[in-house]
């Protein structure tokens, strides 16, 4: 069988691999109806779970998954082994969201290849949840070194990128880096911007840490990434943390809007400026504005109510 239309669920088996499906090239969970399904109907899915003898999936010819739910849960695999998976999409006309969950794997050496991870994170509308998660070190352009020892051909960094006063003069080494599998930390430098990360597309943090930390840089005033597409962290709290930088990046409504415009998929509570979340900053700004409008003598009660309704709509 090369093409499957419908769900694929391999659950609670004794299989050591999924090589019995090695010829499979595509799976499409058929949900093309434009009618919203009843709430008691289970959505079609691609799911592998509770296979406690499984070493890898072994779907070496699988190139495409068209499902809204993709789950790898509580298996014992060392590798997913999906070397040719290039396309993930949602055939459901009612929603675009794709849930990808890779959780509670039971083998301590489990890792995901850079090719597999790039497929997951570049999938449009994908919501990725990966824990615990680590990257296999099998990419020829993968580096694990500090900035001082970083090779000139390094496009993927496995580990934190730490920039401080001792190595800030070497930031040009990062100009071809495309993905950081760790945190980006800029601390106590004289840098003013991050334009030197001109090819950085993804920052992926898997150890429950903050993805971007920029603090104690008195000249730093511009948090504009030239090509950053996505950051990911399995931290339940903060994804971006800026502390004690230039006054231009002070915690206010405008700066929160500018930062959030780059990372619209993040919740405002996961962005922090000087230990204040943008969610709290925006709430405070809204409360202040409403208070000023309520006390403005020329508005009157009806004018105030109309303005509040308009603000709420925005």
**Residue 194: is its pLDDT beyond 90?**
yes
Tell me if residue 21 falls in helix, strand or coil. helix
Looking at the structure of the chain, the number of domains it has is 3
Same domain, 114 and 217: no
Which residue range forms the structural domain that includes residue 203? 142-279
Same domain, 157 and 273: yes
Same domain, 231 and 289: no
Same domain, 156 and 247: yes
pTM exceeding 0.85: no
Residues whose CB is less than 8 angstroms from the CB of residue 100 and which lie 6 or more positions away in sequence, other chains included = 70, 88, 120, 123, 126, 127, 128, 129, 130
In a domain, 137, yes or no: no
CA distance 163 to 245: 15
Same domain, 146 and 93: no
CB hemisphere CA count around 127 (13 angstroms): 9
pLDDT at position 81:
93
**Residue 21: is its pLDDT beyond 90?**
yes
Share of the chain above pLDDT 70, in %: 86
Check residue 36 and report its DSSP letter: P
* Beta strand residue intervals within 12-139, DSSP E: 26-28, 46-49, 64-66, 69-73, 87-89, 98-103, 126-131
**Residue 37: is its pLDDT beyond 50?**
no
Check residue 37 and report its DSSP letter: P
Strand partners, 179: 156, 202
Cα-flanking dihedrals φ and ψ of residue 135, to 5°? -100, 135
Mind listing the pLDDT tens digit for each residue in 53-97? 999 999 999 999 999 999 999 999 999 999 999 999 998 867 788
pLDDT at position 309:
47
Same domain, 16 and 52: yes
Cα-flanking dihedrals φ and ψ of residue 76, to 5°? -115, 25
In a domain, 266, yes or no: yes
In a domain, 136, yes or no: no
Structure tokens at 142: 């993968």
Same domain, 205 and 306: no
Mean pLDDT lowest for which of 32-41, 130-139, 243-252?
Answer: 32-41
Share of the chain above pLDDT 90, in %: 58
Mind listing the pLDDT tens digit for each residue in 276-287? 999 999 888 777
pLDDT at position 265:
80
pLDDT at position 64:
97
**Helix or strand holding residue 121 (H, E):** helix 114-121
Same domain, 89 and 203: no
**Residue 313: is its pLDDT beyond 80?**
no
Quickly count: other Cβ atoms within 10 Å of residue 20's Cβ.
10
- In this prediction, residue 214 has a pLDDT band, given cuts at 50, 70 and 90, of very high
Mind listing the pLDDT tens digit for each residue in 127-138? 888 887 888 876
pLDDT at position 33:
47
Strand partners, 184: 161, 212
* Beta strand residue intervals within the chain, DSSP E: 3-5, 8-11, 26-28, 46-49, 64-66, 69-73, 87-89, 98-103, 126-131, 142-143, 156-158, 161-163, 179-181, 184-187, 202-205, 212-215, 230-233, 240-243, 271-273, 276-277
Same domain, 301 and 188: no
Same domain, 226 and 154: yes
Mean pLDDT lowest for which of 53-62, 238-247, 275-284, 303-312?
Answer: 303-312
CA distance 182 to 231: 10
**Helix or strand holding residue 23 (H, E):** none
In a domain, 100, yes or no: yes
pLDDT at position 38:
44
Give the domain CATH number at 152. Answer: 3.80.20
Same domain, 125 and 168: no
Same domain, 11 and 85: yes
- In this prediction, residue 236 has a pLDDT band, given cuts at 50, 70 and 90, of confident
In a domain, 174, yes or no: yes
């Amino acid at each position: 069988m090369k093409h499957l239309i419908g769900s694929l669920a391999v659950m609670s088996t004794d299989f050591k691999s999924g090589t019995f499906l090695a010829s499979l090239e595509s799976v499409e969970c058929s949900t093309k109806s434009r009618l919203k399904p009843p709430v008691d109907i289970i959505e079609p899915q691609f799911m592998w779970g509770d296979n406690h003898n499984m070493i890898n999936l072994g779907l070496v010819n699988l190139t495409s998954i068209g499902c809204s739910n993709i789950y790898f849960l509580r298996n014992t695999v060392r590798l997913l082994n999906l070397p040719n998976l290039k396309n993930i999409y949602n055939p459901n006309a009612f929603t675009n969201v794709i849930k990808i969950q890779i959780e509670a794997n039971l083998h301590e050496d489990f890792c995901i290849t850079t090719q597999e991870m790039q497929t997951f994170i570049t999938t449009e509308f994908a919501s990725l949840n990966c824990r615990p998660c680590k990257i296999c070190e099998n990419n020829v352009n993968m580096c694990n070194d500090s900035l001082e020892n970083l090779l000139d051909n390094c496009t993927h960094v496995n580990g934190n990128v730490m920039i401080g006063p001792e190595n800030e003069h070497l930031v040009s080494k990062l100009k071809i880096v495309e993905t950081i599998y760790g945190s980006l930390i800029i601390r106590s430098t004289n840098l003013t911007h991050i334009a030197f990360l001109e090819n950085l597309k993804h920052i992926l943090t898997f150890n429950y840490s903050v993805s971007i930390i920029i603090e104690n840089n008195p000249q730093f005033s511009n948090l504009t990434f030239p090509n950053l597409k996505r950051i990911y962290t399995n931290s339940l709290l903060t994804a971006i943390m800026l502390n004690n930088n230039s006054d231009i990046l002070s915690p206010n409504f405008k700066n929160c809007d500018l930062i959030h415009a780059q990372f619209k998929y993040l919740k405002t509570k996961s962005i922090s400026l000087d230990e204040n979340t943008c969610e709290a900053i925006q709430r405070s700004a809204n409360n202040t504005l409403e208070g000023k409008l309520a006390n403005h003598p020329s508005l009157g009660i009806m004018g105030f109510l109309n303005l509040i309704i308009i603000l709420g709509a925005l």
